[in-house]
Every structure is written in C-alpha cells, then in structure tokens.
Structure 1
Amino acid sequence: MNESDSTPRIGQIVLINKGRDAGQFAVIIRHIDERFVLIADGDKRKFDSPKKKNIQHLTCYDYVSMEVRNSLIEAGRVTNGKLRWALGKFVEEELDVLEKGDSLDGERRCN
C-alpha cells in the first residue's frame, strides 16, 4: 500500500480543495493522465458519472480502500454502495485521529 512516489492510486481517498465540491471526500476510480483523475463518492457523484479533477486540486490521504481497488481491478467497476462504505470507513477510522488533536500523518498534496 505504501508506494514511494506520490502518484495518486486507484481506490485512494482524497479531499477536494477546489470547485463546487470543495471540502468533500471522494475516491479515485481512474487515472486519465499525469494531471487528471476521475473521482466519485457514490452519493452526489456516482460511479457512472464521475468528476474529472486536476490532481493539484486534491489532497491525497495515505489511505487506499482495497475493497474499491480490488473491485475496480477485477470487474472494471465498483458499486456506489461500496464507494460510500469506503468513505464512511475512512472518516470513522482515520479522521477520529483529528478529533483527538493529532495531525493526520498521511495527508499530502497529490502530484
């Protein structure tokens, strides 16, 4: 799960920094090129209509949902329910750290 470079990974959780959805979390579901990825959250942004985002407008967390990643690799798609579940699990497990006053170690700019 730890890759040495900071290339965004399929199934990785990101925080949107720019645009209408700023402040919301999403999951990377596909790479378009070195600058752009497709993201979805399974709620407002469904798998079938993902948002194209510049990776410079995202904060990547060092957290990859293996369930989402494996589903995308094996079947080429993922259910919206699984996307929502992965984001809920991330918020529950990882963001509790922030509430305790600690910083989140795996937070960094995508690039």
Structure 2
Amino acid sequence: MVDYRTGQIGQLVRVLKGKDAGTLSVIVERVDDKFVRIADGDKRKFDQAKRKNLQHLELMSWISEEVVNSLNETGRVTNGKLRHAVISFKQFTDTRTEEKGD
C-alpha cells in the first residue's frame, strides 16, 4: 500500500504557497524527507522543475504510472506526459464532482 502523505514520484500535488499557489503539478524527484521537485510540463518544464517544501503542497491520492515508468526507465519524463497526467487528474476529479452532484 502506498503512503500518499510522504510525496511519491509521479504523485499529483496542488501548490499551496508561492506564486504558483492553486496550480497542479507532478512530483518528479524526491530531494530529501522535506523537499521534492515538481513540474507540470506547461509553465514549469521538467528541466526547470521547482524545488518545493512538502508542507507547501497538498498531496493528492493520485499517482501517474506513466510518469513513474518513464522516470524509472530513462530518468526523464516528457513535458507532454506531465501535462497529460495533470489533465487526466482534472478530468477524473471533475467527473467525480459531477457524480456527487447528481
């Protein structure tokens, strides 16, 4: 079982603090127990991933297997896969919100 509270590679997060507050990103690297690097493939590309304190992130219970597999195989992930992960998560949450509203 995955512990979503520790910040896993490929996990979707919502930024709570800073100029990117409110945006969704994907964890692309664990720096240490306190910090991760995040990117969204759009405004924040993989090569310019942002170092962020885990306390400034809302960790979602969604991990993109595509991102995880790509990082494990090559050590890199395309910005397209990051964008796809964020869009897929948004569509999933929008669908769940609509189902609850009905």
Alignment match, 2:47: 48
Q: Does 1:27 align with 2:26?
A: yes
CA 1:95 to 1:60, structure 2 compared with 1: closer, same or farther past 3 Å?
farther
Question: Can you list the C-alpha shifts for 1:22-62, whole angstroms capped at 9, x where unaligned?
Answer: 00000000000111000000000000000000000000011
Q: Where do 5+ consecutive residues of structure 2 fail to align?
A: none
1:59 aligned partner, one-letter code: E
Alignment match, 2:82: 83
Q: TM-score, normalised by structure 1?
A: 0.84
Shift of 1:95: 3.5
Which one has a larger percent helix, Structure 1 or Structure 2? 2
What value does the CA root-mean-square deviation take over the aligned residues? 1.5
Total equivalences in the alignment: 101
Alignment match, 1:8: 7
Q: Where do 5+ consecutive residues of structure 1 fail to align?
A: 103-111
Alignment match, 1:106: none
1:29 aligned partner, one-letter code: V
Q: TM-score, normalised by structure 2?
A: 0.92
CA distance in 2 between partners of 1:38 and 1:99 (Å): 32
The DSSP-based 3-state class of the residue aligned with 2:38 is strand
Identity %: 50
Alignment match, 1:73: 72
